[in-house]
């Protein structure tokens, strides 16, 4: 039985601060329709795909902040996306800001991503663990990056689901820079890692690296794919969003670390590839055969909490 999935990386261009969910969802449905017409089984959208990247602004009015969060999924605004996927027979994943009330009555807020099957069922959910940025307003920055203020650290670990005929792992944006993310997923036999990102071209704490943003983006995802023998689909929200330039470069990476499809521009655009999940074996049975070659007994420091960690 072939385990080839046709996957579409559905890059999105900027979303304006006052752009309603209905507009973002309509753009996603248009991309989904085009992907399905080109044979896609799975469509992957960016991090925080329904709104502008709001952590770039300092806000202390909770109602203003909460306007960017979803309390239900699907919601009235996102139901058309789920309906379109069912009609087209495609799975999809996307990121959104999630607000919920837990069993103890505490309000929780997460930067979340879900994988949805072609029948509209949520197959997997991930809440971002590596939250970049800062807690308080830092006026010296050209723009803020307040993920640490608006979200708490994810509490679902690094999930891998049996889905779409393979083992599918989720992570979000900054997670891709950490080798531990991909390794945690690969240790659960992930064959496909889906991630969305919002990455500014300008990195205020180290602007001397601005020209390396696209390089670092592909560097970490290609390394994550190769070192773990998994397919990786990385999808940007790109372009000039409210005066902030976000990189593009959405791509599909084979388990060998090679980019097999890539978006060329900074707007709404698809990159599509046939992804044979059995190709993971080329790497996972050989150079990165974990049972044969890993030395976990020597890696204790990785999980020790030390003054330097
Ligand atoms: N959304 C992100 O997580 N962005 C970070 C930026 C701030 C460096 C990223 O790792 O791309």
The 10s digit of each residue's pLDDT in 54-71 is: 999 999 999 999 999 999
Catalytic residue among 173, 244, 275, 280: 173
CB contact at 8 A, 43 and 35: yes
* 191 included as an active-site residue: no
Q: Is the CB–ligand 1 distance for residue 111 below 6 Å?
A: no
Assigned CATH for 4-303: 3.60.110.10
Maximum separation of any 2 CA atoms in the chain, in Å: 57
SS3 299: coil
Residue 1, pLDDT above cutoff 70: no
Tell me the whole-structure pTM to 2 decimals.
0.98
Question: Two tokens at 95?
Answer: 């990121």
Query: Per-residue pLDDT tens for 3-38?
Result: 999 999 999 999 999 999 999 999 999 999 999 999
User: What is the number of other CB atoms lying within 10 angstroms of the CB of residue 48?
Assistant: 28
By the 10 Å C-beta count (0-12 exposed, 13-18 middle, 19+ buried), 74 is classed as middle
Q: What is the pLDDT of residue 111?
A: 99
Ligand 1 atom closest to 217 (CA)? 11
* 128 included as an active-site residue: yes
CB burial readout 152-166, b (16+ within 10 A) else e = eebeeebbbbebbeb
Residue 309, pLDDT above cutoff 90: no
């Amino acid at each position: 039985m072939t385990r080839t999935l046709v996957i579409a990386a559905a890059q999105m261009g900027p979303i304006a601060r006052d752009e309603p969910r209905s507009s973002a969802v309509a753009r996603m449905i248009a991309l989904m329709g085009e992907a399905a017409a080109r044979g896609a089984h799975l469509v992957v959208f960016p991090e925080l795909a329904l709104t502008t990247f709001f952590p770039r602004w300092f806000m202390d009015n909770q109602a203003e902040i909460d306007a960017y969060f979803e309390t239900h999924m699907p919601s009235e605004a996102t139901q058309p996306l789920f309906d379109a996927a069912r009609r087209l027979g495609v799975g999809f994943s996307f990121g959104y800001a999630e607000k919920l009330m837990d069993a103890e009555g505490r309000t929780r807020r997460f930067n979340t991503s879900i994988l949805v099957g072609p029948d509209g069922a949520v197959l997997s959910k991930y809440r971002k663990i590596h939250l970049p940025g800062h807690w308080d307003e830092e006026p010296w920055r050209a723009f803020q990056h307040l993920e640490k203020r608006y979200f708490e650290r994810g509490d679902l670990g690094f999930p891998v689901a049996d889905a779409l005929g393979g083992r599918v792992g989720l992570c979000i944006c900054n997670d891709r820079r950490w080798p531990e993310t991909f390794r945690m997923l690969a240790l659960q036999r992930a064959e496909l890692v889906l991630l969305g990102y919002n990455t500014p071209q300008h990195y205020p704490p180290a602007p001397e690296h601005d020209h390396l943003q696209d390089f670092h983006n592909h560097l970490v995802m290609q390394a994550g794919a190769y070192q773990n023998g998994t397919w990786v689909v990385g999808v940007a929200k790109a372009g000039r969003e409210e005066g902030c330039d976000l990189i593009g470069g959405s791509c599909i990476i084979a388990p060998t670390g090679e980019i097999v499809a890539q978006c060329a521009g900074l707007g709404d655009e698809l990159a599509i590839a046939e992804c044979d999940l059995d190709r993971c074996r080329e790497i996972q049975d050989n150079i990165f055969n974990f049972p044969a070659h890993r030395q976990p007994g020597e890696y204790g420091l990785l999980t020790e909490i030390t003054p330097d960690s």
